Structure 1
Amino acid sequence: MKLLIVDDHEMLRGALCAYLRSDPSWEIDEAEDVPSALRTIRHLGPFDIVLLDFHLPGMDGLDGLREVIAANEGKPVALFSGTASATVASTALRCGAAAFLSKSMPVEELRIELTNIVSARGSTWVPGNEAAGAPAVQLTPRQEQVLQGIKAGQSSREIARRLDLQETTVKMTMKLLFAKLQVQDQPAA
């Protein structure tokens, strides 16, 4: 699987590359900003997935995301951030990002999410008013697991325990889930 990691923090980028390169099924390239990512995609791409830091030189809001999506010829681009709000995540998803992933998630969970995005492009959750022409909402497998916990009336702490995740990861997943579903809280979800 071809992955391009685009992050201006050399230590983070290097650590992710080293971890993922330990799996021979990954072919990893890296870039430090949007212009170098675009050059790499033109030269070596398109990639099966691009992992793009949200706070990156050359991003210029979400314009950098749009440029990378266009350059990667329809293959998924996932945004990656530790500080972005649910509003930013929702906007990024509407702009075409395949996912919005948290930098606080465990690296093995990140690997699984990237694999899921590439292999399945997420699962589809269809709202009740699909017959009226509303578009389907794409949920990642992790978002579906969290949604099932919400439907069962579980707290974020209970969901985290059941899924063997950190509670902060579950809360970030909930924020992204709420943004995708265009709701404000668990009862609405």
Structure 2
Amino acid sequence: MTSLLIVDDHELLRGALCAYLRADPEFEVEDAEDVPSAMRAIRRHGGYDLILLDFQLPGMDGLNGVREVVGANSNRPVVLFSGTASSTIGASALRCGAVAFLSKTMPVDELKLEIRNILASGSSSWLPANQEMDAATVQLTPRQEQVLRGIQRGLSAKEIAHELDLQETTVRMTMKLLFAKLHVQHPSEVS
């Protein structure tokens, strides 16, 4: 059984997500509402197979909170999970040891698929913190690879979303993180 910790201060979202994931016998799910309670849960449990960590939490202290949770989870996957954090924050979280940056706006079925993809890929398929990022060494998630193939074919975010049966906001979030990983400036960000 896969152990998950959902750390989010929005009780309705946290409760709904936990209930959805608990319905799958593959997952054992616990939750926490802030960083101090997450740290207590990690110590009590001995770490989790994967932690979904909201970025704006009580006791978070920005990226220091990400580092703290990553360190406490013994280098097992910690995923930044946010509806408001920018791609710059996502890229910084990756450098702090988070393995992915997922949007809260993604459909729950897709979130579950991304969780499985992250767990199946293991730590060796994710870019370690502080590693030099270039096209030859960056490891992409399966979703990022799909979006990159669409970009290479000249498709718009809307066309990629339609082709992959995703929401356009999910594709745009994936593109932002992909550009940050590859140190590519997105055309809309060029001054």
Q: TM-score, length-normalised on structure 1?
A: 0.90
Deviations 1:73-95 (A, max 9, x none): 01000001111111111111111
CA distance in 2, matches of 1:144, 1:62: 26
**Counterpart residue number, 2:107:** 106
Deviations 1:123-157 (A, max 9, x none): 9599xxxxxx9861121110110000001111111
Conservation of the 8 A alpha-carbon contact between 1:33 and 1:57: yes
SS at 1:79's partner residue?
A: strand
Conservation of the 8 A alpha-carbon contact between 2:32 and 2:41: yes
**Counterpart residue number, 2:98:** 97
**Counterpart residue number, 1:120:** 121
Verify: 1:55 aligned to 2:56, yes or no: yes
**Counterpart residue number, 1:69:** 70
**Counterpart residue number, 2:131:** none
CA distance in 1, matches of 2:178, 2:137: 13
**Counterpart residue number, 1:173:** 174
Conservation of the 8 A alpha-carbon contact between 2:135 and 2:182: no
Q: 1:119: how far off? A: 1.2
What is the aligned-residue RMSD (CA, Å)?
2.0
CA distance in 1, matches of 2:167, 2:135: 33
Conservation of the 8 A alpha-carbon contact between 2:7 and 2:54: yes
**Counterpart residue number, 1:32:** 33
CA distance in 1, matches of 2:80, 2:177: 12
Structure 1 stretch 162-171 or stretch 114-123: which is displaced more?
114-123
Q: 1:118: how far off? A: 1.1
Q: Unaligned stretches of 5+ in structure 1? A: 127-132
Pair 96,29 (structure 1): closer, same or farther in 2 beyond 3 Å: same
Conservation of the 8 A alpha-carbon contact between 1:76 and 1:97: yes
Verify: 1:19 aligned to 2:42, yes or no: no
Deviations 1:158-183 (A, max 9, x none): 10010000111100110010011110
Q: Unaligned stretches of 5+ in structure 2? A: 128-133
Runs of 4+ in 1 over 3 A off after TM superposition: 121-126
Conservation of the 8 A alpha-carbon contact between 2:76 and 2:123: no
CA distance in 2, matches of 1:74, 1:123: 11
Q: TM-score, length-normalised on structure 2?
A: 0.89
**Counterpart residue number, 1:149:** 150
Conservation of the 8 A alpha-carbon contact between 2:161 and 2:171: yes
Conservation of the 8 A alpha-carbon contact between 1:116 and 1:141: yes
Q: 1:185: how far off? A: 2.4
AA at the equivalent of 1:28: V
Conservation of the 8 A alpha-carbon contact between 1:81 and 1:101: yes
SS at 1:172's partner residue?
A: helix
Conservation of the 8 A alpha-carbon contact between 2:179 and 2:185: yes
